[in-house]
Structures are given as structure tokens and as C-alpha cells.
Chains A and B, each alone.
Chain A
Amino acid sequence: MIRSVDLVIHNDLAEIAVVRDALDQLGGDLQVPMSALMPLQVALDEVVSNVVKYSWPDGGKHEVFVRITVSATGVALDIFDDGRPFDPRVAPEPIPPPKGQRPRPGGVGIHMTKKLVDKLAYERVDGRNHTSLIKHCAVGVALKEV
């Protein structure tokens, strides 16, 4: 059995709360282990906030589509946007700071995302970015009953 939820938010950082809360809700209902849910929340925030901040440099109101899919073996997050092409898989690693200086956070989010999930995939289809994140985990008994 697979359960999924589709969400549409706008390119507004505050609206990321909608997808965050939906992942919490679905993860809680289906007994996704916390050890998977927390890294997924961080990765979702990194990818969606990146889209919101950088996909539409000219501004304006745009939509970000997020699909959360939970199966017995894990969770998939699919993020779609029609902004400028951006492949997070080839994003440059954070640049180490000059000696004695503090690092700047640029690039850290995607770098962390790669470590937090089991698979980070990307494709450009019909003028849209499709980023997908997969985390494998044994999902609780609830899924078998739905």
C-alpha cells in the first residue's frame, strides 16, 4: 500500500510550513520512524527553500508542487517548479573559508541534503525542474492497515 499527498505552495518561505506540517502529519500517521522523518524534514526544507529563493530571479508569484509518498519501505519527496533549471546533484561543494575566517553557509544546504537522503535525483521535464529525494526506512504497521 502506498499513501501520498500532493501540495501546492507559492514562492514564499513562510509557506514551507505547509509542506513541513504535511510531512509531519503523514509521517506521524503512518509511523515513519523519527530517525528518517527528521533528516527528511531538513532535506525538504533545503530543497524547497532553494527553489523559493532562486528559481525565479525576476520575482513574481509562482507555484511549487510537492508530492510526499510513503510506502512500506520508505518515503519519497518530489518537488516540481517551473523556474530556471537547477540540478542540485551538480551544485558545487561549499568553499572552505580562508584560514582564520568563519565559513559562509552558501552551498551547505544541498551538501547536507545529499548526506541526509539515500537518493537525490533530478530531471528537467517540459520546462520544469523535478527534484526527488528518497529515504529508505521500514515504515510502521499502520501502512498495512490503510
Chain B
Amino acid sequence: MNLQFSGNFRVIDDPEPTETIGQWRIINYGEPSLSSASAGFLEERTLVSSGATPFEFKDSYSKGSICFVTSGTSSFTNVEIPESPWFITDRINRIIVFPKRVRLPKEMTWAYREYVELPQTNIARQFNPVFQRIGKLARLPENWDSYGARPVCKNSISRGVILLKELIELRSTIGFEIPVPFVAPLSSGGIQIEWEKGEKYLELSITSDPPTVEYFAADKVKEGQLTLEGSLRSASGLKELISWFVNGSAEDLAHFTFEESPEASIS
């Protein structure tokens, strides 16, 4: 079985489903190795064949609604049949679930089992230049900024790639688009990932000495600019920050309930 990219669609040649549940087919494929991640997201094409593990399926298009849950490779509860293909990742297995015949939302009106659009496909393609850019940062020499900058360390690169991949995975659970960030090298040997839209600003800086991911968020309030800084220690913190940046308000930023104990100030 081979996965290929074609236009907006990820094409599955000769799919042999790991399992069939009624009119649904399930295909698992493996997590790319970390070492190949910085070379590009397309490395995900590597396939493994393994049985379905217990997981929850969520409809990737309408956020949050759990349609059915498998508790093993053979038993399942069918609550609702969605019209679009589903995609889920549980960090170990990436699983595509699609009906034998599926309606696609955009260019194609109908597609058969060979043509399945995954919600992840578009965001992966959008993020591909970011991964490629990070790959280039790994090759920067000493003094690349002319002011004595250190080379970007491999740890920062790896952690940056992991963080970006977590963002892509978040897309399947939070139900809205995650804007593509700008990635910049830091002269200290780290990397900075930043987003800016209107008055909102979000920055994640990854350093290896000490090994931390720090965040800095800013938004405009009546009294001036509200800023929030701290160390990011969990995926839930990342989710909160991104959710705020995409959909939140300055008031949300002021009332963050982070486990990271952020420091907020108005300047």
C-alpha cells in the first residue's frame, strides 16, 4: 500500500483496510521517525501495518463530537455516521477512517475510496515550508548574525519540530485553523516561533541552555498592552495559548488558568 500526494488530496492506492466496520474502512499508518521529521512532513508516508488499538474517533470537521468508540479491534459502538472522512492520531498509530463512498467538501463532489481528503493534509502542506526552514537553521554556522551568534543547537531543532507537529495534531481536536507561524533563529542558539495578527502577538522561544520553551503573549487592552510570559510545560498550555491567539480576547488572556503560573503585566 502506498500513500501519495496529489493536488489537495492524499491518494491511497489499492487500500487494503486493516479492518472494516460496516461501511467504514480503517487504515493505520505509522508515526514518522524523529530523525526524518525535520526533512519534511512527507516522511509520514512510511507505512506500517498494525491492528487497530483502542481509541476514540472524533469527527474532524465538526469539533468535538465523538461518533463512535472502539474498545478493541472487533467491538464498536456506532452512534452516528458522519458524511466526511475522519482522521485521528493517538501518537502511536495514525488512523484514517473513511466510508467506501465519501462526499468531499471542495473541488470534487464525489470521490471513491482511492480519493480521501484528510483535514491534516492541508495543514501539513502549509507547515511544510516551516519544517524546511527549521532544517536550514540547523546548518547555520557560528556568527551567522555577524554579532557572534551561536549555531542553532540540535536539541532546539528537535524540540521545535516536535512542538510544530503537536500544533498540527491539535488541529484535529480543536476544530479551527492554526495559522502558519514565522520561525526565526535566536543568537543564543535557540529558535523562536511567532504569530502576529492585529494587536495579538504570540511567541514561543525554545532554548537548550537551559532547556525550556518560554511563551510571550501580548494583546491590546483599554489600559495599554497586556502581556503574559512564562514557561510552557504541557501540551494543554500550548492548546490554551493557540486557542487564545486564534479565537480569544485580551480578557481571556488576562484570565488564563495556566498550571505554569504565568506572570501578567500591563504596560
* A, B assembled together: no
**B: which residues have CB within 8 A of A?**
none
**A: which residues have CB within 8 A of B?**
none
